Structure 1
Amino acid sequence: MKRLTLLLLGAAWQVLPASSQGLAIAPIMIDAPAGGGATSLTVSSGLEHDVTVQVRVFDWTQKGGEDQLSPARGVRFAPEIFALSPGSSQVIRMSVPDTDGQGAWRVIVDELPNQKASAPEGAAQLSIRLRYVLAMFAGKPGAPQAVQASLAGDGLRLHNESAGWLKLHNLSLETESGDAATTGPGIVYLLPGSQISIPPPEAAGFSTLNYSVEGQAYATRLRQVR
């Protein structure tokens, strides 16, 4: 995902998976109705102190090989900001518009600063707060075999030729002789008909992209683009 600004007003934001220690979020991938309607997620606190949480929803597209986020239009949800005491939970109820099964959103859950907390005299004014980034789709996943891959001077290009979204794991590049090198982040999302670019590998001579979807391994031949 295109990185959001992480350093704000002297505080560091740590981007974590939705199941990381601290706040627990379920589900970690949100399924929204293709024809519009209601969905929800639950945020629970495993922290030992009170915390204030903010939820934001962004429309998600992929253009120019990158993720593009903009404030969501037509998505209603509440509450947007709420407090959690240790061991408590909050359900966030959402209503999404009819997208004919093509809706894709990023849901970002932030721990907000504790205004009552004060650092000891002389201590650095830097605190670590948590950010969780989730995917929400209003359609079914596409065919895993629909991934097309090419190598160009600007990197590895992945294209989704299916009508559904794809979630790829364990990307690696392989040579004809069987030598392989891991590439890209741990998870890559491909929206329907969209393309994502990944920084090029340091080595050359790769001919195949390996990846997995839902634990199943797949491979596709690389096209060389000059």
Structure 2
Amino acid sequence: MRRAQFQRAIQRLAGRLLPRAAVLLGAGLIAFVPAQFADAAALQVSPIRLDLSADRPAAALTLHNDGTTPINAQVRVFGWSQALDEDHLERSDRVVASPPIVQIAPGADQTVRILRVGNTPVTEEETYRLLIDEIPNDQTAQTTGVRVQLRYSVPVFVGAPEGKPPVVDFALEHAAPPASAASGAALMLRAANHATGHAQLSQVRLEWPNGQSTQVSSGLLGYALPHATRRWPIAGAPAGAASATLHAVVNGEAFTTRIAVEPASGAAVSAVPAR
């Protein structure tokens, strides 16, 4: 009986959480627990991204309690930058959350206002991340017997250029030994963003000259922030490949280009659109 309940709990939580996995900060923070513990994973967050500007400095974030007991949540704001293929977060007071800590009744919503402080002009896109933490409370612990904490990460873009496609150079490079050993991939996809706005990459696929195809990501792959370079490992690339055709969705627009395989230390070259 306990085994059957446990399996049903996994299915329930997987159905609830996996569609939102793109906004969760780290899969290691998702815990599958028996059905009687499911209320500990009741926090839902929408929308999954926010866009602000100097003329539109505020937006609403909605937190929903899908459980049967009250939950507490905390919203913190971090400046978001990228370096050495990693995201870096630093506490920021240029964007604030009000209120930063809320209690949400069962089945209820709580609105948190996200506000850019000051009225200085936005000359280049500012990038932030909201970290929304579910704070286990005594009632949840007494009811379930465990404490499960979720963390959501929601991107916030201030002053994203409207109507301007990002200027991104794509290339394939041989993975350096540490990256190759860690991921098992011989090649890395490199995206160098030279624009003043972010580039969001999703539905990324590579077609090789031998007819083989590699699905890098069926959903969101990640972001290349303004003036940043990101790399992602490519598993299963054919040995000796010298080029590939990249198919992707960049900031919501379909994009296709031919890219070459370069040495790991090589400089990026501008992508040439496929014909």
TM-score interval (norm. to shorter): 0.7 to 0.9
1:182 aligned residue: 215
Residue 138 of structure 2: which of 112, 115, 125 is its match? 115
Q: Highest CA radius of gyration, 1 or 2?
A: 2
> Partner residue of 1:72?
92
Shift of residue 101, structure 1, vs aligned partner: 4.2
RMSD of aligned residue pairs (Cα, Å)? 3.0
**Mapped contact 2:202–2:217 kept (Cα < 8 A):** no
Structure 1: where are the runs of 5+ without partners? 7-11, 16-20
Contact kept? 1:34, 1:101, Cα under 8 Å: no
Offset at 1:153? 2.5
Deviation at 1:172, TM superposition (A): 1.4
CA offsets, 1:65-95, max 9 Å, x none? Answer: 2211111232222211111011222221232
- The alignment-based identity, stated in percent, is 29
Q: CA shift at 1:184, angstroms? A: 5.0
Shift in Å at residue 55 of structure 1?
Answer: 0.7
* Residue of structure 1 aligned with 2:169, choices 143, 148, 162: 148
Q: Please state if 1:106 is matched with 2:129.
A: yes
- Counterpart contact for 2:49–2:154, Cα < 8 Å: yes
Q: Could you give the per-residue CA deviations for residues 149-182 of structure 1, whole angstroms, max 9, x where no partner exists?
A: 1222332211123222122211112112442111
Provide the C-alpha distance between the structure 2 equivalents of 1:66 and 1:214, rounded to a whole number of angstroms: 20
The 2-side partners of 1:101 and 1:38 are apart by 18
> Structure 2 matches for 1:166-205, cutoff 5 A?
166-184=199-217, 186-187=219-220, 188-204=222-238, 205=241
Helix, strand or coil: the match of 1:116?
helix
**SS of the residue aligned with 2:150?**
strand
Cα deviation digits, residues 1-31 of structure 1 (max 9, x gap): 9x9688xxxxx7229xxxxx83333322111
Listed one character per residue, the Cα deviations across residues 97-140 of structure 1 (whole Å, up to 9, x for unaligned) are: 444341111111111112234469xx9x7543322211110122
TM (norm. structure 2) is 0.66
Preserved CA contact (<8 Å) 1:107 1:136 = yes
Matched, 1:94 2:118: no
The count of aligned residue pairs is 212
Tell me: higher relative CO, structure 1 or 2? Use CA pairs within 8 A at least 6 residues apart: 1
Which one-letter code corresponds to 1:64 in the other structure? L
1:158 aligned onto 2:191: yes
Query: CA 1:133–1:225 in 2, change beyond 3 Å: closer, same or farther?
Result: same
- Partners of 1:118 and 1:91 lie apart in 2 by 25
Q: Could you say if the C-alpha distance between residues 117 and 38 of structure 1 is closer, same or farther in structure 2, counting changes exceeding 3 Å?
A: closer
Shift of 1:199: 1.8
Structure 2: segments with no counterpart, 5+ residues: 1-21, 32-40, 176-187, 264-275
Please state whether the residue corresponding to 1:129 is helix, strand or coil.
coil
